[in-house]
Amino acid sequence: MSLTIKEIAEVLGTGQKSEQTITNIEFDSRKITDGGLFVPLKGRRDGHEFISQAKENGAVATLWSKNLSEAPKDLFVFPVADTIKAFQQLASFYRQKVAPKVVAITGSNGKTTTKDMTEAVLAQKYQTYKTQGNYNNDLGLPYTILHMPETTEVLILEMGMDHAGDLTRLSHIGKPDAAAITLIGEAHIENLGSRQGIAQGKMEITAGLKKEGILFIPADEPLLRPLTRPLEQKVVTFGLTEGMVQAQVLNVSKNSTEFIIGKQKFLIPVIGSYNVKNALVAYSFGRYFGLDDQEIAMGLKNFQLTKDRTQWSKAYNGADILSDVYNANPTAMGLVLDSFAELPLTGRKILVLADMLELGKESKQMHIQMAQHIDNRFAEVYLFGSEMKNLYLALKDNYKQVYYFNKDHKQELIEAVKKDIKPQDSVLLKGSNGMGLSEVISALQEE
């Protein structure tokens, strides 16, 4: 990226006239390099305290919301009331300056996978840049924008939310040309009250959607349909059995899923019909931006999945591990359980499931409902966390091979699973990120 001191001053309403170029913007002082602008944030520690370290690492300028008398004398200083809002303003300006087409993706599940698929598809024709990792909130999204190369033609932004109003702010910063909602699940239902509240929150992605833009939504989600009626923009539905864009699943194996749209066959290197729905979004974006089916098929076949989303690895003894531990809600967990159950695998299928967090007063019942997805296709079921005790009680009378561990007994869980698994087995681990199942996976991989 490159912005001049003068451009930044004009955006923020300060008076500097220098044509010196800023080459990087960081809110972590350790990541600043020569020619950088430091953005001090107020968290557990006040970022202003790290100005010396930022300067040592190459910062030449800083935003500043404290008293100006405390500001460094040897840097360009931009006094602002709120460093986060100023950071967002700069992102909006830089987006306008580079002027890429913008794709926005949200949803209770699948948004990161869909982002990865979409970027791989659009990269067949355009210079693309996408949200890195899970940088999808009010800091991560402007950070993504400010780190895109100046040659970017299409910017793919993942947009996350915790509360009502979050996506309105992100959509106005991103100003998408095209947007998609992958799924309405139960993530953050504790904050939003109901699936209806979640649907309304996800629809905020259209707040900054250009009037001539387009929105893609799942055809099998009735909560969204009435919310789209007031929109000026075109709305396109997608699905496996209904919708304006449809796919038919042909074959599912351990490492891939094959499907057909029209007469064109597609293959994605991940399991599950739910991932075919994600691919339908990427396909729809591809068609909207002028790619043909063969170009889209090539992108989908070779896309790279972000870590910990239905990712295969090996245990210490050669058993297969399927990791899906970045986040979890009942819809997402049910989908991956059903897909894992249907996979044609040689050995036993073993489950390690941890609590789904932020489900509020419905949490107990939502954990119990997971029993609908568990049957004798699974040889062993290990449940971890206080909320998973509800599922354990629902299962224990019908299944002998169900084991429960509370959140203070992670090591005992690790030892039990490690002792149990055989080289030909496959183990699925699923739970919210806060439950730390990634530690269990690391332990299973070690001798």
Q: What pLDDT digit, counting tens, does each position of 128-161 carry?
A: 999 998 899 999 999 999 999 999 999 999 999 9
**Residue 107 is assigned to a ligand binding site:** yes
Tens digit of pLDDT for each residue in 263-290? 999 999 999 899 999 999 999 999 999 9
**Alpha-carbon torsion (149, 155, 159, 164), positive or negative:** positive
Residues 210 and 317 in one domain: no
**Residue 67 is assigned to a ligand binding site:** no
How many CA atoms are closer than 13 Å to the CA of 192, on its beta-carbon side? Answer: 24
Whether residue 105 is predicted with pLDDT greater than 70 in this model: the reply is: yes
Q: Which of 81, 43, 45, 44 is nearest to 63 (CA)?
A: 81
CA distance from start to end of the chain: 45
What is d(CA 439, CA 447) in angstroms, rounded to the nearest whole number? Answer: 14
Residues 104 and 247 in one domain: yes
Q: Which of 199, 207, 165, 162 is nearest to 181 (CA)?
A: 199
Residues 48 and 120 in one domain: no
The label of the residue with tokens 């899970």 reads: 134
Domain of 40, in residue numbers: 3-82
What is d(CA 84, CA 61) in angstroms, rounded to the nearest whole number? Answer: 16
Helix H or strand E segment including 119: helix 111-122
**Residue 113 is assigned to a ligand binding site:** yes
Q: What is the CATH number of the domain that holds 172?
A: 3.40.1190.10
Q: Which of 120, 125, 108 is nearest to 156 (CA)?
A: 120
**Residue 2 is assigned to a ligand binding site:** no
Residues 183 and 267 in one domain: yes
Interstrand relation of 248-252 and 257-261 (parallel, antiparallel or unpaired): antiparallel
**Residue 23 is assigned to a ligand binding site:** no
DSSP H helices in 16-109: 51-56, 83-98
Domain presence at residue 266: yes
User: Which of 47, 82, 117 is the last residue before a domain boundary?
Assistant: 82
Strands across the sheet containing 257-261:
248-252, 257-261, 264-268
Domain presence at residue 94: no
What is d(CA 296, CA 419) in angstroms, rounded to the nearest whole number? Answer: 44
Tens digit of pLDDT for each residue in 27-83? 999 999 999 999 999 988 999 999 999 999 999 999 999 999 999 999 999 999 999
Residues 284 and 353 in one domain: no
Mean pLDDT of 428-438: 95
Whether residue 193 is predicted with pLDDT greater than 70 in this model: the reply is: no
Whether residue 306 is predicted with pLDDT greater than 70 in this model: the reply is: yes
**Residue 33 is assigned to a ligand binding site:** no
What is d(CA 26, CA 48) in angstroms, rounded to the nearest whole number? Answer: 13
Domain presence at residue 95: no
**Residue 52 is assigned to a ligand binding site:** no
pTM check: above 0.85:
yes
Q: Tokens representing 252?
A: 């599912």
